[in-house]
Structures are given as C-alpha cells and as structure tokens.
C-alpha cells in the first residue's frame, strides 16, 4: 500500500490539537473504544465517559475499494478511507447548552479537516494541509482532500442525563492511491 493509516490518523489528531476553535481542556486523541453501545444504558460506562469530557476522539472507520487497474498486475487501485470523530460535551445546566458546546467542536473539526490534504513529501505546509509529522511513504498519493463522508455523515448519539452529556459522531473520507 502507498499509505499508512496511522500516519494519517496522527496528522488528524495533531491538526485538531492545534485548532484554535477547540477550547483549552478538550481531550483530542485516537479513539480506543470509549464510545460503545453500553455507554448509554449502563451507569458505570456513563460515569467513565463523564471523566473524559470534553473530548474529540479520532477513529479509523474502514475503507472501500473503488477498483483496480485492468492490467495483469492489479497493483494500482483507489481506496476511500473513512475517519470518524466522536465529539463529547457536557454542561451542568441544560441539554441545550451541552448540544451547543458540541456544535462548536463540530464546527472546529469541519474547519480543521474539510478540504485538507495530508502533509506529505512534495507539499509545503499551509492552510490546505493537515499538520504533524510529514508522511514519507513512497508514492503516497491523495486523490482528494478530506470531505464529509456522505449520506449521514454527522449523527447525534446521545443527549441527556445528569449531568447533561451530548455525544455526536461525524465522518470524513479521503481517496488515496492504493
């Protein structure tokens, strides 16, 4: 393959860590399974989540293959990689305020990721690139910038409880030469 998923994921995290729209105290890191179905039905899971708020967790959400070349080697194809961002916010006052805190973080993700390319050999860091460690994989070739994944690319997972917790998920995808 002409890409390493972990390099792209690291750049997404690095970019969000330096995004001015995310307030101080927001945890930004790779998702390691904190947002699970039991979270919203079992109090022990919910208490664990409260300790991590506010957060943005980045998760590699899989890929689709757009096909391969028709020559006899079948070595060149196009992959569409999806990355999911879990956004969690809290307020002690109302579910509306928790939602609005999450909206702000969703905007920040959009501003930081939408239309951006991974920072790689052959590019100069700028406003059109993610930040972080330079990707040096041989023949790394993004065919598109990050864009919302389409269909339902932003979804409310939970809004409620005491304290009021709001969790959204949003997805972005990028097309790469495989």
Compute the chain's Rg from CA coordinates: 18
CA 83 – CA 46 distance, rounded (Å): 24
Q: In CATH, which superfamily holds the domain spanning 5-177?
A: Phage tail protein-like (3.30.2000.10)
Give this prediction's pTM.
0.87
Per-residue pLDDT of the chain (178 residues; tens, 9 = 90+): 789 999 999 999 999 999 987 877 899 999 988 787 667 677 777 777 778 889 999 999 999 988 766 665 666 789 999 999 999 988 655 556 667 788 889 999 999 999 999 999 877 766 688 988 889 998 898 999 999 998 888 998 888 776 678 889 999 999 998 8
Backbone angles phi, psi at 65, to 5 degrees: -105, 130
Pairing outcome for strands 154-160 and 147-148: unpaired
> Do 53 and 134 form a contact (C-beta atoms < 8 A)?
no
């Amino acid at each position: 393959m002409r890409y390493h998923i972990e390099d792209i994921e690291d750049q997404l995290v690095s970019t969000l860590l330096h995004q001015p729209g995310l307030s101080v105290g927001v945890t930004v890191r790779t998702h390691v399974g904190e947002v699970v179905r039991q979270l919203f039905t079992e109090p022990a899971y919910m208490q664990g989540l409260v300790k991590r708020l506010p957060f943005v967790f980045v998760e590699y959400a899989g890929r689709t293959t757009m096909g391969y070349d028709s020559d006899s080697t079948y070595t060149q194809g196009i992959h569409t990689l999806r990355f999911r961002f879990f956004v969690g916010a809290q307020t002690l006052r109302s579910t509306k305020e928790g939602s609005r805190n999450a909206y702000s973080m969703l905007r920040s993700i959009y501003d930081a990721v939408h239309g951006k390319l991974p920072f790689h050999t052959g590019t100069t860091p700028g406003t059109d690139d993610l930040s972080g460690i330079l990707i040096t994989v041989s023949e790394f070739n993004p065919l598109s910038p990050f864009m919302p994944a389409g269909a339902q690319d932003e979804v409310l997972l939970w809004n409620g409880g005491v304290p009021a917790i709001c969790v959204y998920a949003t997805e972005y995808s990028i097309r790469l030469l495989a």
